[in-house]
Amino acid sequence: MDHHKLGAPIIVIKGVEKRFGETVVLREIDMVVHRGETVCIIGPSGSGKSTLLRCINALAPINKGSILVDGVEVNDPKLDKLAVRRKVGIVFQQYNLFPHKTALQNVMMAPVTVLKQDPREVEARARALLKRVRLEDKAGSYPGELSGGQQQRVAIARSLAMNPLVILFDEVTAALDPETKKEVLVTIRELAADGMTCILVTHEMAFAREIADTVYFTDGGVIVESGPPSQIFQAPQNPRTRAFLDLVL
């Protein structure tokens, strides 16, 4: 683990519990993410990975524990949730672009509407972001006219336009075919290399192994094991981790 390139802790999660009614979906979750770190969360379906990301972004309230984003308690009822969401971007499996807006407008919308930034300045930045995800020639296209991989890259650009401190990726390549998957993975790899703090939920084990600074393995709502990819993938300590990896590798 090359911790030397990592900065100060930016997300600090302590003892988080999340229930839906009687069902406990997350319990005793502890996690620290540093500035510039790339974290991958792996684990079987239903283990609570998406729920954890949604809690970090204040899309779902937690029942116990604390989540600090850049020193601010996400679960504080007095807190303006919008303030947290400006700092934390999230990209979903199904892209969820706004279908009535062009790619460029999708990227520009939040900074102009939410942050009230100058549209001309935002447009310049949005075009630069589209270029960064290699879609500068698709600025005028509507989501319905783009492939899945292209839509996903617009969604990443849309998230980046808010200048977040962290971006959460929830199985962003799961709905894509192998070819377009690669385009999106290249984009994420470049982002991580540029020093963006990323938390990825992924089933792409090879990618996780290559890109992650830290890997968390979750099962049944708890973090079973965490560590550098070399440890998790080559010498897993916990039999559950071993069983899961035997199944997916």
Ligand X SMILES: Nc1ncnc2c1ncn2[C@@H]1O[C@H](COP(=O)(O)OP(=O)(O)OP(=O)(O)O)[C@@H](O)[C@H]1O
Binding site residues, ligand X, CB under 6 A? 20, 25, 45-51
- CB-based contact 40:216 (threshold 8 Å): yes
Those residues whose C-beta lies under 8 Å from the C-beta of residue 15, and which sit 6 or more positions away, are 28, 29, 30, 64, 65, 66
| 100 contributes a contact to other proteins by CB under 8 A | yes
Task: Give 48 or 89: the residue with its C-beta nearer to other proteins.
Answer: 89
- CB-based contact 30:14 (threshold 8 Å): yes
Stretch that binds other proteins, among 31-39, 64-72, 97-105, 127-135 (CB under 8 A): 97-105
Pick one of ligand X, other proteins, Mg ion, none as the site partner of residue 6 (Cβ within 5 to 8 A by kind): none
Pick one of Mg ion, other proteins, ligand X, none as the site partner of residue 51 (Cβ within 5 to 8 A by kind): ligand X
Strand partners, 197: 166
User: How many CB atoms neighbour CB 20 within 10 A?
Assistant: 10
For the chain, what's the residue count?
Answer: 249
Angstrom distance (rounded) from CA 56 to CA 53: 5
Residue given tokens 């892209």 in the structure block? 95
Show the binding pattern over residues 139-178: x = contacts other proteins (CB under 8 A), - = does not: -------------------xx--x----------------
DSSP state of 168: E
Strand partners, 218: 223
User: Which tokens in the block code for residue 183?
Assistant: 């385009």
Distance between alpha carbon 117 and the CA centroid of its chain, in Å?
A: 24
Pick one of Mg ion, ligand X, other proteins, none as the site partner of residue 119 (Cβ within 5 to 8 A by kind): none
Stretch that binds other proteins, among 23-31, 42-50, 81-89, 195-203 (CB under 8 A): 81-89
User: Which tokens in the block code for residue 127?
Assistant: 């075009």
CB of 54 to other proteins, least distance (A): 9
| 50 contributes a contact to Mg ion by CB under 5 A | yes
CB of 106 to other proteins, least distance (A): 10
* List of residues contacting other proteins (CB under 8 A): 57, 59, 82-83, 85-86, 89-90, 92, 94, 96-100, 109-110, 113-114, 158-159, 162
* List of residues contacting Mg ion (CB under 5 A): 50
